[in-house]
Structure 1
Amino acid sequence: MTGPLLELDGVRKHYPVHEGLILRRQVGAVRAVDGVSLSIAAGETLAVVGESGCGKSTLARLALRLIAPSAGTIRFDGRDVTHDGRAALKPLRRQMQVIFQDPFASLNPRMSVEEILAEPMLVHGLGDAASRAARVRELLDLVGLARYHADRFPHEFSGGQRQRIGIARALALKPRLIVCDEPVSALDVSIQAQVVNLLKDLQAEFGLAYLFISHGLAVVRHMADRVAVMYLGEVVETAPVGALYAAPRHPYTQALLAAAPVPDPARRPARPALGGDVPSPMKPPAGCRFHTRCIVAQARCREEAPALRTLGPGHAAACHFAETVPAFTRLGAGERHARLQARLALYERKRAAMTATTAA
């Protein structure tokens, strides 16, 4: 295959909001995903990061065609699956699987591990009882669980073991793409490392493509080949993982990285943490959606929405001033404190000016 395995082109998902009990009428729409274009190649990991409510999980459900887009096109292996119905999508389900965030809630407590792992094969009518049992044993070996675990139930396992069961279930049908929706956020740090390493080993062995949804920027740095940063339903920056962490060009990306914990606080990036609240996805701000929280926003940002522009090989950002945004650097404690105070003062002046304009 020469083209992308999964391709999303201008995908939108708007949820209508109604009022009235009898004469219901639409009064708006929640713009959960608003014009996202992304692609994933076979064997690649694309991470999607952003704050809660930015549309990451909705994007994952769109990629899996668990929900239909309001607009845009979704292609898998070159085939347009945007408008496919349930029957047409069933063969596609074997190629696209998901690992859920909560390893306990995603497993049926009334089913044994063997039943959980065999269920996808039963749904798709694959093999007989003996071949399914052999496949279950193979899956347990792949994820580092003992074969005698097949007779146990989810409540008998630790969180990390339950997530390994979820990974085994996702592998049962030999998919080509796996959507990992916050797969390690509910686990302890030491267990996170084990699960991430397992995912990378499985990817190397089977050539899997991952759409990796995460809040954990440290996990993303270890796991991803490319990163897409989402804010309020839009992608604001995409880049290879090394370029994004070395020189992020969107102020939102810089603020996210500044908020991530670092081993040495004196080497924290010279950027203030995000201020203010995320605007409502029903009424996103005009112009750049991030301008209400951006410390470098100017008048143009409030009036004109920036396009996602190419800045370098594989690197694009949706910011009018991406080329001139101050570089993301790591400083000594004294210099970092001075710059931080200066930028916080600038932010406060801009916020006061916007408040005065709104009051007038």
Structure 2
Amino acid sequence: MSAPLLSVRDLEKHFPVERGVIFSKVVGHVRAVDGVSFDLAEGETLALVGESGCGKSTTARLVLRLLEPTGGSIRFAGQDITRTPASALTPIRRAMQPVFQDPYASLNPRMPVGRIIAEPMEVHGIGDDASRRARVEELLRLVGLAPYHAQRFPHEFSGGQRQRIGIARALAVNPRLVVCDEPVSALDVSIQAQVVNLLKDLQQRLGLSYLFIAHDLAVVRHVSDRIAVMYLGEIVETAPKSALYGAPRHPYTQALLAAIPVPDPVRRRAQAALGGDVPSPMNPPPGCRFASRCPHVVARCREERPKLRPMGEGHLVACHRAEELPIPAIPSLAPHPPSPAVARRLALAAERRVSP
């Protein structure tokens, strides 16, 4: 088996919390990422999912070395880049590029689109002016835009078009890894599907690997090969897509899947929303961090921190009771007939379409 393109082990990022105006003093640390480990193979899409504030985006920034890790290791293409100085990161940054969440804030409003896309090539010394212009036109066509768009400014485009420009900029230097930090969460639902389909098409054509950060499990199901679920700075479950959606083993994963909206207003949910509050990342509990919200909690959960352990081929779960808990049916993922009211409306609509 070939070595993974990206290998992360026990990654940590603790932000200091200071008090005082003149004589500030560190009074604690926010454990934003606290012992995260995963592998990403060449040509694979690994989705990192979880609630807002769980540490997904911080993990992405650590992988890109936009933040300095507190602990752990990051290996990219066989090279340990955890402590690589900033002066030596240029060739590494060329091989892994980001696509940001907000297409309105991630593009310089004072630069035309052609220059925005060409800027990474200028930074890395790729080609001359003529070859860069030709490459910009090629990239615009690749992402579904026209060459004449290179002369326009970001404010002249819609949100979906701006995200396409951001994708073109990320591809300008031929990266091997693209880190997508919630790339469709700021877009309309119909535009989300277009951008996700574009990312999948580009992956097949260019052999890209994606680290896909998201909180929308419906989008993740369409784009990912494997999924890692994060909660309060930790990964609580990792599995291939089919295993995680078909047989989720961690109670938190089950709650996330049950929260996917059902496209029928009459149907009731089989599982209520999670109660309780997320513990403070400054002072996480000693045992399972999900214990305060878990409906299956026992005394051991509050005292002993669970570790990821295998539950099948490629399926890892951090739960003391994973073997004994039942696997619930997730109604929002299973095919189901429409409710009687919806069925009547569909039948009436069909009659109108076929009536002379």
- Same topology, TM > 0.5: yes
Q: Does 1:51 align with 2:26?
A: no
Q: Specify the alignment match of 1:41 in structure 2.
A: 41
Per-residue deviation, 1:223? 0.3
Number of residue equivalences: 332
CA contact under 8 A between 1:254 and 1:271: conserved in structure 2? no
**Which amino acid in the other structure matches residue 260 of structure 1?**
I
CA contact under 8 A between 2:8 and 2:36: conserved in structure 1? yes
Aligned equivalents of 1:222 and 1:262: distance in 2?
16
Q: Specify the alignment match of 1:140 in structure 2.
A: 140
Aligned equivalents of 2:330 and 2:173: distance in 1?
45
Q: Specify the alignment match of 2:68 in structure 1.
A: 68
TM alignment of 1:203-352, pairs within 5 A: 203-264=203-264, 270-330=270-330
CA contact under 8 A between 1:228 and 1:239: conserved in structure 2? yes
Aligned equivalents of 1:70 and 1:148: distance in 2?
46
CA contact under 8 A between 2:48 and 2:214: conserved in structure 1? yes
Per-residue deviation, 1:20? 2.2
Q: Specify the alignment match of 2:348 in structure 1.
A: none
Per-residue deviation, 1:269? 6.3
1:123-158 residue CA offsets vs partner (Å, 9 max, x unmatched) = 111111000000000100100001110100000001
Aligned equivalents of 1:269 and 1:301: distance in 2?
27
**Which amino acid in the other structure matches residue 293 of structure 2?**
R
CA contact under 8 A between 1:246 and 1:328: conserved in structure 2? no
Aligned equivalents of 1:330 and 1:136: distance in 2?
45
Aligned equivalents of 1:50 and 1:184: distance in 2?
15
- Once structures 1 and 2 are overlaid, which stretch shifts more, 265-274 or 322-331? 265-274
Aligned equivalents of 1:150 and 1:174: distance in 2?
19
Per-residue deviation, 1:290? 0.3
Q: Specify the alignment match of 2:336 in structure 1.
A: none
Aligned equivalents of 1:181 and 1:74: distance in 2?
18
**Which amino acid in the other structure matches residue 259 of structure 2?**
A
Per-residue deviation, 1:192? 0.4
Q: Specify the alignment match of 1:173 in structure 2.
A: 173
CA contact under 8 A between 1:112 and 1:154: conserved in structure 2? yes
Change beyond 3 A, Cα 1:46–1:266: farther
Secondary structure at the counterpart of residue 62 of structure 1: helix
Aligned equivalents of 1:229 and 1:161: distance in 2?
30
- Once structures 1 and 2 are overlaid, which stretch shifts more, 147-156 or 21-30? 21-30
Aligned equivalents of 1:18 and 1:58: distance in 2?
20
Identify unmatched segments of 5+ residues in structure 2: 333-356
Change beyond 3 A, Cα 1:26–1:140: same
TM alignment of 1:42-121, pairs within 5 A: 42-121=42-121
Per-residue deviation, 1:214? 0.5
Per-residue deviation, 1:265? 5.9
Q: Specify the alignment match of 2:341 in structure 1.
A: none
Q: Specify the alignment match of 1:4 in structure 2.
A: 4
Aligned equivalents of 2:144 and 2:291: distance in 1?
47
Identity across the alignment (%): 70
Secondary structure at the counterpart of residue 27 of structure 2: strand
Per-residue deviation, 1:268? 6.5
**Which amino acid in the other structure matches residue 5 of structure 1?**
L
**Which amino acid in the other structure matches residue 161 of structure 1?**
Q
Q: Specify the alignment match of 2:338 in structure 1.
A: none
Q: Specify the alignment match of 1:344 in structure 2.
A: none
Aligned equivalents of 2:164 and 2:237: distance in 1?
32
Q: Specify the alignment match of 1:160 in structure 2.
A: 160
Q: TM-score, normalised by structure 2?
A: 0.91
Secondary structure at the counterpart of residue 173 of structure 2: coil
Per-residue deviation, 1:278? 1.3
1:276-331 residue CA offsets vs partner (Å, 9 max, x unmatched) = 22111001112000000000001110000111110000001100001112212146
TM alignment of 1:187-206, pairs within 5 A: 187-206=187-206
Secondary structure at the counterpart of residue 89 of structure 2: helix
CA contact under 8 A between 2:69 and 2:82: conserved in structure 1? yes
CA contact under 8 A between 2:237 and 2:315: conserved in structure 1? yes
Q: Specify the alignment match of 2:339 in structure 1.
A: none
Identify unmatched segments of 5+ residues in structure 1: 333-360
Q: TM-score, normalised by structure 1?
A: 0.90
Per-residue deviation, 1:263? 2.2
Per-residue deviation, 1:273? 1.3
